[in-house]
Structure 1
Amino acid sequence: MTSTPTPAPSVQRVLYRSKAKRIGGAPLAPRDVAAIVDTSVRNNRSCGLSGILLKVDDTFIQLVEGEQRAIEATFERICVDERHSDLVLIDMITAETRLFPEWSMAHVGSDADPMRLQVNRDLKEISFTVETHPEAALKQMRALLR
């Protein structure tokens, strides 16, 4: 009698964009974004999530991936977080593999540093394509981390 291999667990992915702001409405400062990323890294590690957070001007674009229950709980927290407004769910899919397995939360943000002009151009391009061509935008996000 042969045993049937256990299929790998599926991965849930959530991709969204939102307007980033401080509680009370002021724009987020770089230290605010760093604090969000630090908290996300800790939280995601503890529940087995991975992903990427992009900040393009005043917009967050984020992909979170992992086990369905953890994704649902995390996305629910994001939806009620006052630092997000105008949240738009772009994609929620089940996949066989993770796109960002090595990062509990990678972060790339727009920056005034002239050495980062290409990164800033790439971020702008992603922000324009993410809703109409999410798969292409995800490939661009992966490329940013190389």
Structure 2
Amino acid sequence: MMTPSTMASSLQRILYRSKARQIGGAPLEPAAVAGIVETSVRNNADCGLSGILLQVDDTFIQLIEGEQAAIEATFERICVDERHSDLVLIDMTSAETRLFPEWSMAHVGSNGDPMRLQVNRDLKEIYLTIETHPDAALKQMRSLLA
């Protein structure tokens, strides 16, 4: 959980999408995604970042929020990580409050489970609207964790 001191007024938010790939170009396996999430949870907690990683088929959509220096360092690592291709920065902005203060890195992914049909539909809708209506997509991303 983030403390009030990590929620200072210099809060920044970055939103991007990328294609998820194994090193070498093959589709990213679920175990590899789990490893990315596990490492991100630990690293983000250590540097005061919070956020969410969505996986919609072979696409990552990620929001990271925290201090600017920590976001920039994390985004630089993502940009050179071979598991991300076709990376598109959608938005980088200042924020008054965190959208995901209780999550150093939440993860929601689509799958074929019929019990998760609404989640899968929501993920597809976010995927389709993230670049044209990012504010609405961010609200929908937050609702996935409610």
User: TM-score when scaled to structure 1?
Assistant: 0.94
Q: Which residue of 1 aligns with 2:47?
A: 47
Q: Which runs of 5+ in 1 are unaligned?
A: 1-7
SS in structure 2 opposite 1:131? coil
Q: Secondary structure at the match of 2:51?
A: strand
Within-5 A mapping of 1:1-146: 8-146=8-146
User: CA shift at 1:68, angstroms?
Assistant: 0.5
Considering only CA atoms, is the larger Rg found in Structure 1 or Structure 2?
A: 1
Could you list the per-position Cα deviations for residues 2-28 of structure 1 after superposition, in whole angstroms to 9, with x for gaps in the alignment? xxxxxx422110000000000011111
Distance in 1 (CA, whole Å) between partners of 2:58 and 2:39 is: 19
Q: CA RMSD in A?
A: 0.6
Unaligned runs of 5+ in 2: 1-7
d(CA) in 2 for partners of 1:88, 1:98: 22
Question: What SS does the corresponding residue of 2:12 show, helix, strand or coil?
Answer: strand
Give runs of ≥4 in structure 1 deviating > 2 Å: none
Read off the aligned partner of 1:77 and give its amino acid letter.
R
CA contact (8 A) 1:49 1:67 kept: yes
Task: Give the drift of 1:29.
Answer: 1.1
Quote how far apart the aligned CAs of 1:80 are: 0.5
Write out per-residue CA displacement over residues 57-77 of structure 1, whole angstroms, 9 at most, x where no aligned residue.
000000000000000000000
How many percent of aligned residue pairs carry the same amino acid? 82
User: 2:5 maps to which residue?
Assistant: none
| Conservation of the 8 A alpha-carbon contact between 1:17 and 1:87 | yes
2-structure distance, mates of 1:89, 1:43: 21
Tell whether the 8 Å contact from 1:10 to 1:97 is kept in structure 2 after alignment: no
CA distance in 2, matches of 1:9, 1:74: 20
The match for 2:3 is none
